[in-house]
Structure 1
Amino acid sequence: MMIRRHQTALVNKRFGAGFTLIELVAVILLIGIIASTVASRAFTTGDAALQTARDDIVAAVNFAQQQAMDTDGAVVLAITSTTVAVSRDSVPLQFGSVSYPLELPSRVSVAPNATLAFNRLGESSPQVFTLSVGTETTTVSVSAAGYAN
């Protein structure tokens, strides 16, 4: 009987070794901290602000173009260094929950200030806008056909 207990204890020690729940939670926590640190360094807030401002301007150009093709009246897109506005006959327009003029994300500046008028065919004068946050920049091009990219 003594031999059997000793053998059972050896078997339990040899095959029962594993990770405890606390050890597993600690490893998962460390992996999460490392992943969040790497992700925060890979994506700066300047990148996000630039992308948001770029998307806002492209959406405003597309909205102004659609409004010009759908209705009569002068549809105008006005872009300043910190805002984008769409209006028809000098009345600001609203698209869903977005009311124009729309403030661009803080720290983002746009150059040059410009006003684009869209005709009944959705055409406008070509323009290139440069958006910047610190040293990071991106551009939005509006073609003569009124398309933005």
Structure 2
Amino acid sequence: MAQEIERKYLVKSDLFKSQAVGSVRIIQGYLSSVPERTVRVRVKGDKGFLTIKGIGNESGASRYEWESEISVAEAQDLLKICEPGVIDKTRYLVEFENHTFEVDEFYQQNQGLVVAEVELTDEAQKVHKPSWLGKEVTGDRRYYNSMLMKQPFTSW
């Protein structure tokens, strides 16, 4: 079983943009957004993906994840039958001290929200934080994309 371990942080400045080694626009929806299992459909640049995630552990840092690439046409068809609400964001990749931070800048109903995630090999792994990284929100369900679809940031 594939296990995803990551920490999530708020981003307090846009300094990360000058450090980014790449970026891609992402549009995603959810076929299922129940906490026990989310089924996500994503168009990421010129690729499509179907992802299943299990419920997180107590800390919220680890959970089961399975992902498979599908065609963009298939992803676009599946987006039409997703639950209401779409996540629209740009993902920036920022390398910092042996880690790659994925920084998501959200649009539309989540405008103004910028979060960064970093994948780890284990939960105890030390993360050196760049100056633009803010408060850790790992495990705070409000920041899960599946929740931002239902309760967008601008409605908080």
Q: What TM-score does the superposition give when structure 2 sets the normalisation length? A: 0.24
Q: Per residue, is there more strand in 1 or in 2? A: 2
Radius of gyration: which is bigger? Answer: 1
